[in-house]
Homo-oligomer: A and B are copies of this chain.
């Protein structure tokens, strides 16, 4: 829960503020926090004693606005959580990798086309990121580490793009998907390209 971090950083705040800040970072992309989660998180953190409610204002007949701030215990917990993320390496799930593992279920030409398309999408992303990086907005109005995050995305994107192109070429070159050791040997009957495999337990 990095909601806690945000509250710590903006306290005292109410839910809607947090939500706006998250959206403005388009953090629903790289954290997993959709608007709806926020209020739940705030309440849970309060129950756990990491946050404290400061006040509950009411303007007119609108929903009450609850303001939160971080307790000493919350402060401590945040440090712990933060360090956990900084010092640990944790692979995060990637749906494309999952999909790629089903490569043999795609016709060769479509697979190659999709990879090239992907490379193009990534290239477009790279360009707009480059533009942002050079823009006054990021260079002079934002803390420098925001730019550094862009650089990370850039580096990853370039790695991905290169890979897509390399793999597209290999697929087009028509190499067999079968394990090198067993060109047309046992058990791989279901591994034709594109066709629905009718196979057994492989491995």
Give the chain B neighbours of A158 by CB distance below 8 A: 159
Total copies of this chain within the assembly: 2
Q: Could you say which interface size class chain A belongs to? A: 35 or more
Give the chain B neighbours of A200 by CB distance below 8 A: 10
Q: Contact string, A167-203, partner B, CB cutoff 8 A, digits 1/0?
A: 1001000011111111000000011000011011111
Give the chain B neighbours of A201 by CB distance below 8 A: 10, 17, 21
A interface residues, Cβ below 8 angstroms from B: 2, 5, 8-10, 17, 21, 24-25, 27, 29-32, 75, 78, 82-83, 85-87, 89-106, 110-111, 114, 117-118, 121-122, 125, 136, 139-146, 148-149, 151-152, 155-156, 158-160, 162-163, 166-167, 170, 175-182, 190-191, 196-197, 199-203
